[in-house]
Structures are given as C-alpha cells and as structure tokens.
Structure 1
C-alpha cells in the first residue's frame, strides 16, 4: 500500500492491518515482550476501544481510524530517567494530530490531557489518545489513537443512538478523508515530534 510506504524513513513500521479486535492498545501491550520498536497495529474495527478512565470508544466497522504503536525510547528503561517521562508521548502525538488536521483546513486543538477537538461549525471531540507503560524485561510505551473520520456521520440524524454526546468527525466537518492516509500523515508528524 502506498500509504504504508509513506512511512519509509520514519521509526514506524511494519504496519499490521487486522479486521477486528477488542483494542489495538491491549493487543500491543500483550505483545510487548517480543514486538520491535515502531510496530503499528491498525484495526478496521475495534470492539472494546477505550480512553482515559476506561471510557469506551466504539464506532461502526470501517468508519474511523484506530491504531496503536509500540515505542521503545531510550529513556523508557534508563536507570536515571523518571518513569513519568512517558507522559510526553501523549502530548507529542496530540500535537502531531492537531498539525495534520490544521493542514487539512480544520480548526483543531488539544484538550488536555488526551483529547483532540475541533472548533467552529462542528465543534466537538474528534479523537482521543491513550498511552500505556509496559514494564518488565523489555519496557515499552504503547500509544493508541482513535480518530473519528467518517463517524459520527456528516448528518447527525444518521448517527443513531450510539453517537456519543459532544462527538464530531472529519466527515461532519465536511472532509472526505482516507483514514489510512490520515494515519500515515499523523505518524510522519509524530516521528518529527518524538
């Protein structure tokens, strides 16, 4: 896929694409002892996506961008580095997402600590980030992004009863974006931030 080759020269890859999973973050946390730095797990559908405070984040199949990456930064297991330095991963990814959305012409901002919001005619939460520290023999940070690309739909009446209050999407903001290319753009920007 040309979007996957767009990641050449970054720390990210390979990209594994799966049809359905509970949570890409949980899957990478489970694989952390054997997975390499930069592994990306991309799901067409997540059935148990979650955010901060274990809030659920679920959308229809094929509608949104749900992926996680495994990172092994030099400092994650350094003897003199504070564990809290992992907190820098979330804002770095958030800044990358906001930069990509702004380049698309959207008025996007980070809502501390881990939400990405759009303001204007379609104000609302468009994405969320969850980072988790994996301790043990091979420490790592797993960070995931859920970004509303096509759901909630452009017409709020088509959202159904499961549309979270305050949610918006790129479609609702008037963009017809390819979610895989959005991911490639976000990861390239994240590589520069990180």
Structure 2
C-alpha cells in the first residue's frame, strides 16, 4: 500500500499531461511514481528532463549504451533495496534487449562469463555507490577508467545518481509496482 496515493488523471495539472503521456509512451505504461510526483508539477517536469538526459540519449561514441545503463540502474537499485526501481529496470532492460539470463546473473556478475570486464567494472561501482556510506574505492575507479572515458564515466555516475533519487523516492513512498514490470520480475 503506497504511503501517498498517486493522483488520478483528472487530478493532474493539464500543463503536465503531455509530458506524462510522453513518459508513459516511452515506458509502455503510466508509472505510479510519476502520478505521485505530479503533486509537484515542477518536480515532475525536472525529473522527466533528468531521466531523458540520463537514460534517453546515447552518444554514438559512448561505451555506455542503453542496455548497460539499465544494468547499472538495476545494480544500484538492488544495492539500495528498492523493489519498485528493480522491477522498472528489469522491464526496461528487457525492452533494451538484455538477455534474461544476464539479468538473472547480475547477483553473481563478478564470476559470470556473461559480463565483459567493462560491464563488471561499471556494475561494481553502481552496486557499491548505492551503499551508505558509499563503498566505491579508488581501485574500483581505476578499473572503471581502464574501460571507459571520462565522458562515459560521467554517464555511468549520472545513471547511479538518478537511481539514487528514484530509489529513495519509491522506497520511502512504497510506490505500487505496475502490472507490466511486475510480470517481468515474475518471469525471471
């Protein structure tokens, strides 16, 4: 049971209905966290912009593609213990073409041949950064720099930071997980 009820469509400020439609079209469903965040239209709009800038724009020269961004978000969300964001990142990862077996292997990524050394370095930093206090070491960052440019690392940390916000939002408010991401989690 959520701690705050999401707004109904009729309760949403008409000025933010189009961004809500755009977000729902991108995700494939209307997310409950956005329906709750719509209580503060400026916050919702800023969050959509951050999501689009962080997850929606892959640079052609980047080694951090949409699939890896979802795995980074999933690793951070697992470390933070946010069920809502875990379900959403699994759903998004599958839409990005990430293999189900790879998602299943995320908990044992260090020993899994399914992950490249670059993916392992990024996922390691994502998981450790979501700990309190932050568990990322200089050695973890050195390993990351062996595989990624400074611009790529900026993208990686942006995904981690975005999910830090979303993890806190959703786990504090106990956002209800929608049917589509729930079905994806159950299918693993």
The answer, yes or no, to whether TM exceeds 0.5 is: no
Superposition TM-score tier, normalisation by shorter sequence: under 0.3
Query: TM-score with structure 2 length normalisation?
Result: 0.28
Higher helix proportion (structure 1 or 2): 2
Higher strand proportion (structure 1 or 2): 1
Query: TM-score with structure 1 length normalisation?
Result: 0.27
